Each structure stands twice: as structure tokens, then as C-alpha cells.
Structure 1
Amino acid sequence: MMFSRGFWSSAIVLVTLLVPQCFAEDWLYTVRKGDTIWGLSHKYLKDPLKFQDIQKYNNVKLDRQLPPGVTLKFPMEYLKFAPAEVNVNSINGEAYFVRRGVRTPLTEEQKLVLDDILVTKKDSSVALLFADGSELLLGENSELIFDVQTKWGETGMVDSRVRLMQGSAEGRVEKLRGPGANFEVQTPSAVATVRGTEFRVRLDKENEGIVFNEVNEGTVSVQLHENKESVKEGYGLITSAKLPLTKPKELLPEPKWVNPRSKYPGHPVTVTWQPIDEAISYQVELFKDKELTVLEYKATVNTHQFTLPEVEVGEYSLRLRAIDKDGLQGLNATHHFTISPVPTSPQLNTFIEEYTAGESLEFSWKAADGATQYRWQLAKDRQFRNIVSQTDLKSRVRHIQEGLPAGTYYWRVTAGNYHGFGQYSEPKRFDVKRPIPPQLVLSAETITTEDALTLSWKPVPLAKEYYWQVSTDEQFRDIIKEGKSQSNHLVLEGFPEAQLYIRVATLGPYNRSRFSETQRVLIEPQGNGKTAFGIGSVLLFILLL
């Protein structure tokens, strides 16, 4: 996107570097041992024969007796100057430059000069190094024009002026070295930065006439038309060509990391920070280097936690800042870390989904490439917040011979090496149910005091023995007989005349005090007539048949 020269003349945005000394039209030089005006003139002047003018200008009578520490003044118009080049430090994604109407893909070997136009594409960025050591990181979908690139001989002074036509740029600008040193970024709004300053300039995506200017370090002078504002470190300013210049606004503070780690064993890498009350969102940027010049990924998030995309293992830098309701981005929080290579998640073997409490269990999984160890986890919930057991193993099998109490469980496994453990497998669910109580059956519902009573029930899995009780009351407060049995049946006799209640329980894992349903038996006296009559009637009935 190109703007007309009329636009720029009506609303010029200057990013000029404010010199910490006065802006005299003289370059100042501090004399070192052995310096002479003749030698300095040959080194710095366009016309070395002007040495006599320099001698008179500084009121120096004996050229060869200049004492070290004396300051000499050189008029700027006498100094050598030549076009300067801008180096390409790094390229992330795709970018190209236009020189005399010819569009060429950008490479790191390319030198950018006066009148070049640099363009970055979506999800791309370019890190630039200027002749004085200043750096500029051009963001995605940006266009930058190099208006002035001048180097004042060997004085160290560099005049760099660029126009940001669209997109964003952030700079780390070196300290000024004299009146000829300059660094300007023109946009539809004005920003002037000091040497040694870290600043950001962003054109609004919806309205490129609005520009966000933010200062992380140093002081910035913002100029729009004839108006000027000074923006100090930790402040920002939103400017518009159509609106009056406003006052700077304090930026949101840098976010505070929560339990940051210097080393992450593979993915996922999740970072957390303390929320900032005034923040409506956060800008997250991932760089491949500690210098924050190779941008790998960026995102805007509305939470105070973020999981990075899966990237290659290696060293990274994460930069984070809060964004306020006006769109100004706050101070930076930076975190350097390493993502180490770890094995992939193991594949779990087929597993039965239902067990009986106390039944032995076996968990197994397939080998993971490069794994030297495994970590097995058992939990009561899918999120593994309530972990029941965790074990580190060299083998790929975990046994629980004693079984588990009844309940719902989840298990998972991660593989590890000397770097640490990787991602966990997808959890598997299984249920453990309590064994059913014995189902008690009596041989008769009514017997005499002389008769025997047979008790029987189906065997219960995992039962070690059984415990039985006989009581005169249904609540088993008056127990008249009790005992243990190794088998699932027994014969009892010698009951008193009464209404009796009988029950049996399994003695085994996770079964204590789980009794069968209570059964009733009526004990009647021997020879009361009922039993004899009953038996005689049955025999007579059979004979009659």
C-alpha cells in the first residue's frame, strides 16, 4: 500500500532520536595521545587541506602539542559522508524488497540502501541491523521505505531515516554519537526516540492513520505537525493525523510468570502468568533466539495461561505483554527456556474395563522409541487431579496383585529419557465393583429343636472364608451362635425353641461386614403334634396313591 506525497506533507510522523547533548552544528572530538589536527583532518574531512581552518576554529597554535582530553570542534559541512547500508540479520517467513521498480526475494546476504522498499508477508518478520548498531524488527504485513542512510566517515555518526507505510516495527537504538546521528521513523503519526531507547510503532490494522507508539526504555519525542510530546519510559501514545496530539498514557506493567521453567521435556509447553486487572488480552511472542530477532510464532490470548504450538526442540525465548482497553501494549516480560527431545507417548495395550475388588490387575503398554524409563499413573478422575498411585518403571508392565477397592479409575503412561518425560498417553477408564454378598439358602423354614439345619450359598470370588451368625432378633443384637467356615455350606443343630435369624458374610479383600440377606427359621419343640401329623399325612397320601 502506497501513500501520496501530499499525505505525508500534511501529516508527517517523525521518529527522531533526541541527542542527550545540545544540537550544535559541530561534531565534537576528544583528543587522544598522539593526535594532531593534520592527522585528524586527513581521517575525517572531505578536504584534508581544511586543517588550517580547523586549527583556527579551535584556536590551536601548536598543532603537535595537543594535550589529551581537549575537545575539538569540527563543522559538520567539513566532514566526510557516504551512503550507509542496512544488513539483514534474520528472516522469518517470506519477505521481498523493491529497488528501482524491480521486486526481489529478500535473503540474509542482501544489503538494503537508500530508496529500497522492504515488504514482509503474513506471519513473517525481518530483523535489520543499521550501520551504527541500531536494530529494527519489522513485523508481518509491513512495508518500510529507506529514505536516508548516511554514514559520516569514521566518526561513528549515522543518519538513518525510514518510513513505515503499514504494519509494525520495534527498535533498539544505539546511543547518539554527535549532531549528525539520527534515527527517524515516519508514519502517519509522529514518534521521536532517544538513542538507547527500545520502542514500538504499530499502524492500526483497521485505520492506518492511527498509530500506537510505546516506549520500553528511554524517552521518546512525539511530533505531529507543529506539536510535540515527550513520552517517557513505560508510557505510550496513540496518534492520529486527523486528531490533536494527546498526552502520554502509562503502559500496563510487565506480567509476572508463575513457576517458570528453564527446561521443558518435550511438549506440551504451557506457561502461566499472574493476571493484570486492567488487561483485556495479552500478546504472546515466541522467538528462536535470546536476542528476540527471529520470531517463530505470535498470538493474542484472553487468558493468563497459554500452551505453545508444537515446535522443534531447542532454545527459545518467550515475550509477553498485556494489552489495555485502548490497544496499547504494555511492558515486556521475557522468559528463556529449552525444549528437550523426549520420547513420544506410549501406546497402551488392550485392557479389561471391569474388575472385582481385590482381583489382581496388570497394566501394559508398547515400547516407545528412545525411552529408557516409564511413569505409570492411576487416578480417580480423568484430569488426574486425584492421583491414587504413581510408579516409575524400567519395564512396560505394572502389576497390582492385591487389587483395588471398588470405584472408577483412570490410568495412563508417559515415556522418558535422560532429558525427562514426554506427553502422557490418552487415559483409559476401568471400573472395580464390590463382590456380591453370599446368597444364603436354608434347608427348611421350620424345624424342631431336635432337627439339624443346613446352610448353603454360592461361592464368592476371592473369599478366604465365611462368617455366619444366628440371632434371636432381626438386628442381631442377641447372637446365640456364630462361627467361621472354609466351605460354602455347613450344618447347624441344637437350636432352642424360637424364631431365629441367620446371615453369612464373606471374609476376603474389600468384603468385610457385607452380609447376605437375613433368612428366618422357626424352631418348634419336638412332638408337638404338628410335625408328626404332617409327616403321617404325607405318608398316608403316598400310600393311597
Structure 2
Amino acid sequence: MKPLRSLSFYCVAFLMVMLVTPQSLAEDWLYTVRKGDTIWGLSHKYLKDPLKFQEIQKYNGVEFDRRVPPGVTLKFPMEFLKFAPTEVEVSTINGTAHFVRRGIKQQLSLEHSLVLDDILMTEKDSSVALSFADGSELLLGENSELVFDVQTKWGETGMVDSRMRLMKGSAEGRVKPLIGPGANFEVQTPSAVATVRGTEFRVRVDENDSGVVFNEVDEGTVSVQLHENKASVKEGFGLKTASNLPLAEPKALLPAPIFVNPQSKYPGHPVTLTWQSIDGAREYYLELFEDAAMTKLVHKAMVDTNQAQLPEVELGDYSVRVRAVDRDGLQGLNSSRRFTISPVPSSPELTQVSTKYLTGEPIGLKWSAKSDATKYRLLLAKDRQFRSLVMEQELVATQQPLSEGLPAGTYYWKVAAGNNNGFGLFTEPLRFDVALPDAPIMMPLEDELESDQTLTLSWSQVHMATSYEWQISSDANFSRIVDEGTTVDNLVEVNDLPEQQLYIRVAANGPYNQARYSKTTEVNVIEPGNGKTSFSIGSVLLFILML
């Protein structure tokens, strides 16, 4: 019997505690005391009935109201707190939108605020940006319908309870971190409920089947509930739900596309954007916004290639956002850029006289004039990527003569036209090649030359040559020079050569052209007559005397 009496005692004690302090088992709003705070003052600020300050004091076990030190955490039961309906502000309207209040449909304007039970509807190619009382934002896409079920603000606690139903269309949210048990941000769809606590997310009802919903999380975590089951969708993951199917596992979203050669300025239209293709992408979704916050949607498109040409929008600053779409219809992570479409001149047309030049030969680079251009920028480089620049000049004229030519090599050049707003796009580069002229060609010589004879050397003229250097050597490597000289002519005469095998060569000097010798020519210098002539005459005289 004793154990039974003991059990009865503890049960009664437990029930008494429950009756005396029912708030202890409910969720509380927590407040950290600051210097100068009192329970009396806090009760007047946050409670519906400020006279309940004594209950708050007792609930927190505080003996002296004015002696609560800073840093202490006080608990306030939620049912004691002030709360009131709040409004949702309309930040931006693109296109046309309406709202229904008490059965009356009206066209939405920036002067309107949306409240509990309002129904917001957008038309085709339209969107509405909304701002909630806690600073959270929601962008409602085209052909969408959103019903506001709960819009409550808990006094000055900072807690806001926002709950709504997305009946069709799409919504994109940037939700502030939710602090406190009374703070909520919830989007219910025909097939699931998405609960958000401080994140960036997208939710989209399939336009062909309202029972199919796409949830995608760019940042933070979203809790998705389907029937009795829940799934936590983390950053970089998505979840496709269907009302007639079990809750699936979240899957990784496709990565953010990488733009190829993005520009900060585009010289008017057309503007073509290119990004690297992504494995597993069925298509790509592109959006164009006027503002940096990407709430003022100007254009959207679904493209099946990794390139898109923007429509001819007004000149100015824009933001573009692209994401890949996988085979399940889930849209991947965003890639965005800010750029300017400037009223700058379009590219001029290049005029190139020739594609082949010799060193020292004048080169003329010309291009067409643009009526809206006040200046031009010329780039000349040794590579098509223009990493190895030879020249970069800003000019008023539409030509740049290179009167002294260039060294031998391959060159690329391009031009951009500009005005006070900056420079437009460069032209496609043109190529030209500069080659060295051929080396001199020696005129043929006799195989032998008597040492008392004059050696006449001649060679072909070389383009742009200013002088010629000739050499005569006793060895083929020209390490033992017998004679040498410089002349402006292409002919020279040499006397008093030694009697031996000699090697001869000549080089032309000119712009960017030095010491490029001709092929070697040989000649054998022999003794005059070589004994043959004297012997022949003596033999003839002797023969005559004998007769």
C-alpha cells in the first residue's frame, strides 16, 4: 500500500504544478535584458495587459523588478504578448496585377497594401515584389495567385507570422532569419507546405498539373511537408512533390552557369550572352531585371542552348540571371551579372590593304568612321588573344600608318569606337604577316681565278637594303677572313687575292634585317699561268729553232 500512496502523492503534485504554472509548458518569447530595462517597463511595451508585470516577475523568479542585471534572459508567455494584423507592402509591379478584397476585384498599384484574406493575382509577363513586416521579400511570378491566410505582428517583439497559399504560378522568397516562437513564414501549395526560416527559396506550381510542385533552395533550409511526412531541403537542393505520390528525397540542383567573356558594358544592341553548357541540363531559364535587387523583371525566356540574345530594351543598367533546368524540371542555382547597355558606337569596319608585308615596308591600318564616335582605340598584338601587345593607342583619326614597318612576325589588330559614354565592342581581329626579305643571291663565278686577275663579285638587290657586307675567307666557317667590306652597291671588285681555295658570301643590311648572309660561293685562286703558259711558248720556240 505504501508504494501506491507514494505514487498518488506525486501525481497530485504534478497536477498542482500544471495548474499553477500552465505557461511553463508553452513556448515562450525570450528577451535579453539591457541596461535600464525593468519588468514594469517591458510589460507596458510588450504585453496586452501591462498589469500582468507581477506575473512576469513571478514567472521568471525575479524578486526585485529594478535589480534585473543586463544580460539576463526573461521569458514572456506568448498569450500575454500584444499582437495585431499587419500589412504587406507592394514594392514593385511589372505588368498588370489585381487583388480581390471582400469579393471585389481591383487593379493593384504601389499605393495598395495587402492584408489578411486578400487574393493577389498576376497576369502573363507580369510580376509583383512584396515586402513583409519583418523585412522578408517575395517576388510573385506571372500567371500566379497568392492568398494571404495569416499576417500577424507580435507587437514590437520583431516576430511576424506570415502564412499564405500559392494556388498557381511561382514565387521566389528572401526570408529574414526568424527568431522567436511566434515568427513564421509559410507557403502552402496544392500538394505541400513549405516552412521557411531565414533563407532564399523558390516554389513553383506546375502549370499543367497543380498537384505537382517544385521547391528549390538557394540558401538556408526549407522544411517541406507532404501529408504526414516531412523533408528538409538544404541549400543547393530541390524537391519535386506530387499530391498523389509519396514524398521523395531532395536532389542536388544543377550548378550555377559560368558566363563566357562577360562584358560590363555592351555598345547598344544586339546583346548576346553566352555561358558554359552544363551536363544534365535540359534547358536554361534566363531573366532580365532593371534593378540590382532583381525585383523589376523586364524579360524572361527558356532557351535550349547555352546562348541567348536579349530583346531590344532601353539603354541603361540591367541585371541578368541564368539557371539550368534538369530533366525533372527542377531549376538549378543562379548565376547573375550586372551590366550596362550603353549608347556607345558600334564597331567600325576594318580596311586592310594587304595580308603580307616585308620588314621596313610601310603598313597602313584604316577603319570606317562612325557618326556617333569621337575617338577610337587601336590594339596591335602578336597573338589573337591580345596578351602580347605591340601597340595600344587612342586616336581621333580613322587610320594609323606605320611608316617604318614592323619586325618579322605575325600580327593581329582590332579597333573599337567610343564617345563620352565609353568604348563599344572591338571589331573581330584581322591578321597580317611581316617577313624578312630574301638574302642576296651571289652571281656565279668561274671555278678558278689567277691571282693577278680582278675578282668581280655581284649579287641580287634586296628590298629596302641600305648597304651590303661582303666577306672572303680561307675556310668555309669564315673564321679566317681574307678580305671584307661594306658597299651600297650590289657589286664589288677585289684584287691581290692569295693563291688558295676561297669562300665568299654577302649580307644585306636594312630595317629589322642584319647579317643574313647569302649561300657561300667558292673560287680557287691559282698562280698566274700556273707554269702552263711559259712552258708552251718555250716549247714552240725550241721547235722552230730545230727546224
Normalization by structure 2: what TM-score?
Answer: 0.64
SS class of match (2:515): coil
1:89 maps to a residue whose letter is T
Bigger drift between 452-461 and 330-339 goes to 330-339
Q: 1:389, 1:511 → 2: CA distance? A: 21
Bigger drift between 289-298 and 175-184 goes to 175-184
> What corresponds to 2:242 in structure 1?
240
> What corresponds to 2:473 in structure 1?
471
Answer yes or no: is 1:89 the counterpart of 2:95. Answer: no
Q: 1:491, 1:177 → 2: CA distance? A: 103
Cα drift, residue 328 of structure 1: 5.1
1:524 maps to a residue whose letter is I
> What corresponds to 1:144 in structure 2?
144
Structure 1 residues 403 and 306, CA, compared in 2 at 3 Å: closer, same or farther?
same
1:414-439 CA-to-partner distances (Å, cap 9, x unmatched) read: 23345443211121221212111112
* Correspondence 1:489-528 to 2 at 5 A: 489-528=491-530
Q: 1:471, 1:408 → 2: CA distance? A: 36
1:149-199 CA-to-partner distances (Å, cap 9, x unmatched) read: 788899999986444335x32134689999999876443421233476543
Q: 1:516, 1:363 → 2: CA distance? A: 33
Of the three residues 155, 164, 167, the one matched with 1:164 is 167
Cα drift, residue 348 of structure 1: 2.3
Of the three residues 173, 186, 190, the one matched with 2:192 is 190
1:210-269 CA-to-partner distances (Å, cap 9, x unmatched) read: 4221345676442322334455677643322233224556778989999999x5464779
Q: 2:267, 2:176 → 1: CA distance? A: 38
* Correspondence 1:222-233 to 2 at 5 A: 222-229=224-231
Answer yes or no: is 1:367 the counterpart of 2:348. Answer: no
Cα contact 2:257–2:275 (8 A) shared by 1? no
Q: 1:399, 1:317 → 2: CA distance? A: 41
> What corresponds to 1:539 in structure 2?
none
1:38-74 CA-to-partner distances (Å, cap 9, x unmatched) read: xxxxxxxxxxxxxxxxx9xx9xxxxxxxxxxx99979
Q: 1:206, 1:488 → 2: CA distance? A: 88
1:226 maps to a residue whose letter is E
1:471 maps to a residue whose letter is S
Cα contact 1:85–1:149 (8 A) shared by 2? no
Cα drift, residue 449 of structure 1: 1.9
Bigger drift between 367-376 and 227-236 goes to 227-236
Cα contact 2:176–2:199 (8 A) shared by 1? yes
Answer yes or no: is 1:378 the counterpart of 2:380. Answer: yes
Of the three residues 410, 413, 430, the one matched with 1:411 is 413
Q: 2:361, 2:318 → 1: CA distance? A: 49
Cα contact 2:365–2:401 (8 A) shared by 1? yes
Q: 1:264, 1:413 → 2: CA distance? A: 16
Cα drift, residue 329 of structure 1: 5.1
Of the three residues 429, 449, 452, the one matched with 1:450 is 452
SS class of match (1:441): coil
1:126 maps to a residue whose letter is S
Q: 1:357, 1:523 → 2: CA distance? A: 38
Q: 1:254, 1:233 → 2: CA distance? A: 13
Structure 1: runs of 5+ lacking an equivalent: 1-20, 25-29, 38-54, 59-69, 535-545
Cα contact 1:149–1:158 (8 A) shared by 2? no
Structure 1 residues 450 and 289, CA, compared in 2 at 3 Å: closer, same or farther?
same
Q: 1:354, 1:254 → 2: CA distance? A: 45
SS class of match (1:520): strand
Cα drift, residue 519 of structure 1: 2.5
Answer yes or no: is 1:201 the counterpart of 2:203. Answer: yes
Bigger drift between 226-235 and 471-480 goes to 226-235
Cα contact 1:254–1:332 (8 A) shared by 2? yes
Structure 1 residues 147 and 418, CA, compared in 2 at 3 Å: closer, same or farther?
closer
Normalization by structure 1: what TM-score?
Answer: 0.65
Cα contact 1:88–1:110 (8 A) shared by 2? no
Cα contact 2:147–2:167 (8 A) shared by 1? no
1:239 maps to a residue whose letter is T
> What corresponds to 2:4 in structure 1?
none
Answer yes or no: is 1:487 the counterpart of 2:489. Answer: yes
Of the three residues 319, 322, 344, the one matched with 1:342 is 344
Structure 1 residues 434 and 300, CA, compared in 2 at 3 Å: closer, same or farther?
farther
Cα drift, residue 469 of structure 1: 1.4
Q: 2:44, 2:428 → 1: CA distance? A: 71
> What corresponds to 1:353 in structure 2?
355
Query: Bigger relative contact order, structure 1 or 2, given CA contacts below 8 A and separation 6+?
Result: 1
Cα contact 1:117–1:143 (8 A) shared by 2? no
